[in-house]
């Protein structure tokens, strides 16, 4: 059985905080009782049976082990009560107590909440390709790893035989060709798999034009493997790295995640690197293409992209530029003596990647970037200590669920903890869960980044990080604006909101360093990106080469990040009114104006990191409220409330599809289905905007829906993806299904019941059918429905 290990190190690993937050899995055939092993197997069978209807796992393996360590019994059947919900203070308290008890039980001993982080379905395949090319596949992954990865890939295959970009997506050439390749590299035969899955996958590829139709990301990976030819890849010249920093297209000016993929891809392109041409590689050349490999027109192939993948097709200007580089630039740059520039560029890129590896403890900024950097590291020196350190960090990305083992795009340890603290503090019974909060507090403090990147980091295109927080663990070292803001908020609230707040005090310099990071990240327009300042121009997006994503070239500014910073600085200003007062005041003012300007005509805000308009609108209202704006004096907030109320479904909830992000138009889930997290966000936004005082009926309906969805052990159901990135990349935050129902119900209980309990109106119980008309006579312990 697979065993989850928390905060453990190992050979070739270094850490600045004893590996706090690290999550790895180890197979131990003797681990667990026979009943537990049977429960895990039952969960796997159940998921496999329902995989086309229920696309996401419930993280049964991890949560079962965490709960056992905390002496809590999880109900794996997870049935709902089914009885009608009476909305009264006793019922809400019981629901919250069950929810908090369960949530506390799945907290790791180091203070964070471990969990899966599903996203793109091709990241597992890219890691497999790197391990195969570097001849590290059997060294790094055991036969049990192989078994679970194959289980995962088969479970994620669509009915038509292909794989989508994500678990809820229609089949795409990128994921299908790469996942088919990964299964073959793992030892699967051409007709293996349940229900001849490999044959179905190959048929899907052939029916859609063969692997020459794969987007450029896939072209690069298949070229590395030797299943595609580099002459079929649009140029990615490494010489761009030699350009002065003031040139807009200099890679150092690009968005951090794209930069950290583009630079190693340009290294691979510059070397035209191809791994060992094995018998399996030769076979894949015939399996993936519809024409004989030697007869493929590679010049034509470089322009091809399957319509299923072409979310962001190339513009004519980009096509012209690629043609010029392909026909004239590449031949010129590879001829002596000009070829010296390429040699120099490749050397500088290798040094740059080495710097990034060392400053992220070989975790890198994400899974895709790690796979690329690890391959470049091996090419430079296959026997180096650096490559051994890379291999040791592969385990940080592997996660086991009932669907199998996958490579996560990253993890979100700090992000989840910061939100979890705020959710618990929203509850009137927060003091009863003091041990949970203290562990979370310790995790946040220990996870603060204590140093800037080494050396002259600005010349390596890095920003200050000392005092910030990363999305995941401190060792990774990449500061994020909203993670820093939410962590700072959590620390300030812990010291302010609890009766034993003195136990949650943090050294003042930790607060001050965090504020330094936040102030340094504001752009001239007042907005905040995620990782860095915007370093190039929005028009640079016309050079987006990825086809599958949008807004990937530039560090854009977001309503969510900007709101988080406003809230954190406003809270900090209360505690330290004299510290950098003028700068903080100006920062908040400009950030507020930025949010106001982003509002859409219908009153919503587009959310870039969550689904989607509900998420963005919640953040915007929170940010505007933090500076004192309210429904009565803010046109923005009034329009936002009208928007949210117009999207409430008849069952009282909200249910927004990931298609909202893709199409940039509000889209409901199929069948007008509610989503528990969307509903919680909408409740939080409306409550912050004073909906309780105006008309609490919509909140009562939403609260009733959330409470009715609680499972028997206090958990809430895992539903559709609720996170997003780059418009076309949904993510699944596993802890959100616990955090936000708790947060919304906690605020609901305080605002609704405490309001009524402190009023002088004598109230009586209200039956569920009484409706809003009974508000004036509601009981002191009961709210109308």
Q: How far is CA 703 from CA 83, 89, 299, 645, in A?
A: 15, 12, 59, 14
CB 566 within 8 A of CB 627: yes
User: Which positions of the chain have pLDDT values less than 50?
Assistant: 758-785
Residues with a catalytic annotation lie at 482
In whole angstroms, what is the distance from residue 715 CA to residue 717 CA? 7
CA atoms within 13 A on the CB side of 70: 24
At 195 the pLDDT is 86
Q: Is the Cβ–Cβ distance between 183 and 151 less than 8 Å?
A: no
CA–CA separation, 179 and 163 (whole Å): 8
DSSP letter string over 462-479? ----TT---SS-GGG---
Measure the CA dihedral 606/608/612/614, to 10°: -60
Residue 538: exposure state from Cβ atoms within 10 A (0-12, 13-18, ≥19): exposed
- Helices then strands, counting H and E runs in the chain, come out as 31, 6
Pairing of strands 23-27, 163-164: unpaired
Q: Please count the CA atoms within 13 angstroms of the CA of 658 that sit on its side-chain side.
A: 22
Contacts of 554 (CB under 8 A, 6+ apart): 254, 255, 534, 536, 537, 538, 540, 541
Beta bridge partners of 400: 405
Q: What is the 3-state secondary structure (H, E, C) of 237-269?
A: CHHHHHCCCCCCCCHHHCCHHHHHHHHHHHHHH
CA 333 to CA 729: how far, in whole Å?
Answer: 35
First-residue to last-residue Cα distance in the chain: 47
Tell me the CB-side half-sphere exposure of residue 483, using CA atoms within 13 A: 29
Residue 92 has a CB neighbour count (10 Å cut-off) of 24
pTM of the model: 0.94
Residue 86: its pLDDT value, please?
Answer: 78
**623 within 8 A of 592, measured Cβ to Cβ:** yes
For position 755, what pLDDT does the model report?
62
The candidate with the shortest Cα–Cα distance to 707, out of 101, 104, 82, is 82
Spell out the residues 6+ positions from residue 641 whose beta carbon is closer than 8 angstroms to its own: 603, 621, 631, 685, 686, 689, 691
Q: How many CB atoms lie within 10 A of CB 336?
A: 6
The domain made up of 122-407 has a fold known as Glycosyltransferase (1.50.10)
**Contact status, residue 130 vs residue 181, Cβ threshold 8 Å:** no
Q: Tabulate helix, strand, coil % of the chain (nearest 5).
A: 55, 5, 40
Check: CB of residue 508 under 8 Å from CB of residue 575: no
* Nearest by Cα to 140 from 477, 378, 476, 360: 378
- Cα–Cα distance for residue pair 364/374, rounded to 1 Å: 9
Verify cis geometry, omega within 30 degrees of 0, for the bond prior to 337: yes
Element (H or E) spanning 24, and its range?
strand 23-27
Quick count: other Cβ atoms within 10 Å of Cβ 758?
8
Cβ contact 620:559 at 8 Å: yes
Run of H or E residues at 407: strand 404-407
Compute CA distances 579 → 490, 508, 568, 616, 627, whole Å. Answer: 19, 11, 14, 30, 18
In tens, the pLDDT along 517-566 reads 999 999 999 999 999 999 999 999 999 999 999 999 999 999 999 999 99
Residue 438, Cα to own-chain centre: how many angstroms?
25
CA 360 to chain centre: 18
Using an 8 Å Cβ cutoff, are 724 and 660 in contact?
A: no
For residue 676, CA distances in Å to 30, 108, 206, 239, 719 come to 38, 24, 40, 49, 8
Residue in 488, 600, 479 with CA at minimum distance from that of residue 529? 479
Residue 83: what pLDDT? 65
CA pair distance 679, 306, nearest whole angstrom: 36
Give all strands (DSSP E) within 448-527, no chain letters.
Answer: none
Beta strands in 412-554 (DSSP E): none
Q: If 0-12 CB within 10 Å is exposed, 13-18 middle and 19+ buried, where does residue 650 land?
A: exposed
Angle between helix 143-155 and helix 173-185 axes, rounded to 10 deg: 150
């Amino acid at each position: 059985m697979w065993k989850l290990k928390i905060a453990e190190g190992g050979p070739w690993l270094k850490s600045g905080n004893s590996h706090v937050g690290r999550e790895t899995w180890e197979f131990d055939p003797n681990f667990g009782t026979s009943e537990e092993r049977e429960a895990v197997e039952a969960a796997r069978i159940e998921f496999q049976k329902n995989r086309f209807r229920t696309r996401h796992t419930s993280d049964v393996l991890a949560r079962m082990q965490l709960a056992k360590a905390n002496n809590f019994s999880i109900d794996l059947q997870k049935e709902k009560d089914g009885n009608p919900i009476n909305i009264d203070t006793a019922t809400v308290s019981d629901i919250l107590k069950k929810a908090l008890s369960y949530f506390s039980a799945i907290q790791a001993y180091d203070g964070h909440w471990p969990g899966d982080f599903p996203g793109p379905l091709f990241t597992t395949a890219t890691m497999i390709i790197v391990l195969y090319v570097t001849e590290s596949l059997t060294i790094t992954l055991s036969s049990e790893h192989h078994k679970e990865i194959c289980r995962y890939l088969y479970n994620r295959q669509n009915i038509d035989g292909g794989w989508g970009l994500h678990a809820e997506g229609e089949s795409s050439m990128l994921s299908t060709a790469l996942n088919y390749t990964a299964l073959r590299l793992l030892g699967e035969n051409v007709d293996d798999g349940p229900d001849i899955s490999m044959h179905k996958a190959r048929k899907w590829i052939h029916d859609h034009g063969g692997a020459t139709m794969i987007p450029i990301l896939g072209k690069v990976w298949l070229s590395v493997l030797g299943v595609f030819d580099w002459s079929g890849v649009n140029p990615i010249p490494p010489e761009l790295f030699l350009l002065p920093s003031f040139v807009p297209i200099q890679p150092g000016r690009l968005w951090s995640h794209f930069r950290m993929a583009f630079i190693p891809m340009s290294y691979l392109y510059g070397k035209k690197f191809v791994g060992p041409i094995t018998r399996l590689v030769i076979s894949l050349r015939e399996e993936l293409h519809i024409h004989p490999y030697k007869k493929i027109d590679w010049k034509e192939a470089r322009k091809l992209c399957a319509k299923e993948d072409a979310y962001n097709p190339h513009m004519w200007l980009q096509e012209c530029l690629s043609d010029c580089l392909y026909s004239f630039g590449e031949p010129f740059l590879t001829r002596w003596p000009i070829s010296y520039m390429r040699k120099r560029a490749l050397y500088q890129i290798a040094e740059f990647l080495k710097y990034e590896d060392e400053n992220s403890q070989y975790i890198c900024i994400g899974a895709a970037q790690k796979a690329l950097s690890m391959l470049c590291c091996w090419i430079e020196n296959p026997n180096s200590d650096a490559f051994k350190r890379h291999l040791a960090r592969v385990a940080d990305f592997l996660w086991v669920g009932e669907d199998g083992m996958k490579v996560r795009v990253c993890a979100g340890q700090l992000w989840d903890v910061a939100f979890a603290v705020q959710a618990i503090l929203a509850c009137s019974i927060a003091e009863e869960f003091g041990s949970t909060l203290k562990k979370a507090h310790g995790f946040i403090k220990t996870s603060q980044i204590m140093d800037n990147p080494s050396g002259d980091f600005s010349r390596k295109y890095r920003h200050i990080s000392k005092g910030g927080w990363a999305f995941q663990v401190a060792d990774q070292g990449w500061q994020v604006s909203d993670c820093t803001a939410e962590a700072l908020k959590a620390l300030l609230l812990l010291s302010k909101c609890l009766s034993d707040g003195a136990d949650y005090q943090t050294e003042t310099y930790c607060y001050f360093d965090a504020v330094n990071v936040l102030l340094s990240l504001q752009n001239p327009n007042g907005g905040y990106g995620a990782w860095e300042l915007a370093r190039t121009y929005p028009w640079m997006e016309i050079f987006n080469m990825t086809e599958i994503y949008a807004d990937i070239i530039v560090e854009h500014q977001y309503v969510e990040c900007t709101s988080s910073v406003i809230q954190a600085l406003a809270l900090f200003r209360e505690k330290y009114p004299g510290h950098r007062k003028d700068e903080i005041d100006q920062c908040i003012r400009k950030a507020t104006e930025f949010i106001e300007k982003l509002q859409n005509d219908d009153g919503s805000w587009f959310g870039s990191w969550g689904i989607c308009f509900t998420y963005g609108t919640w953040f915007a209202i929170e940010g505007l409220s933090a500076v004192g704006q309210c429904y009565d004096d803010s046109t923005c907030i009034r329009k936002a409330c009208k928007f949210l109320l117009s999207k409430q479904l008849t069952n009282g909830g909200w249910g927004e599809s990931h298609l909202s992000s893709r199409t940039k138009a509000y889209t409901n889930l199929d069948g007008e289905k509610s989503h528990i997290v969307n509903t919680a966000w909408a409740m939080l936004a409306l409550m912050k905007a004073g909906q309780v005082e105006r008309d609490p009926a919509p909140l009562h309906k939403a609260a009733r829906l959330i409470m009715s969805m609680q499972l028997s052990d206090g958990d809430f159901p895992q539903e559709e993806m609720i996170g997003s990135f780059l418009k076309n990349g949904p993510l699944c935050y596993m802890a959100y299904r616990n955090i936000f129902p708790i947060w919304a119900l906690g605020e609901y209980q305080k605002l609704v019941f405490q309001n009524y309990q402190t009023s002088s109106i004598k109230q009586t119980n209200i039956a569920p059918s009484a409706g809003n008309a009974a508000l004036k006579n509601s009981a002191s312990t009961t709210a109308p429905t």
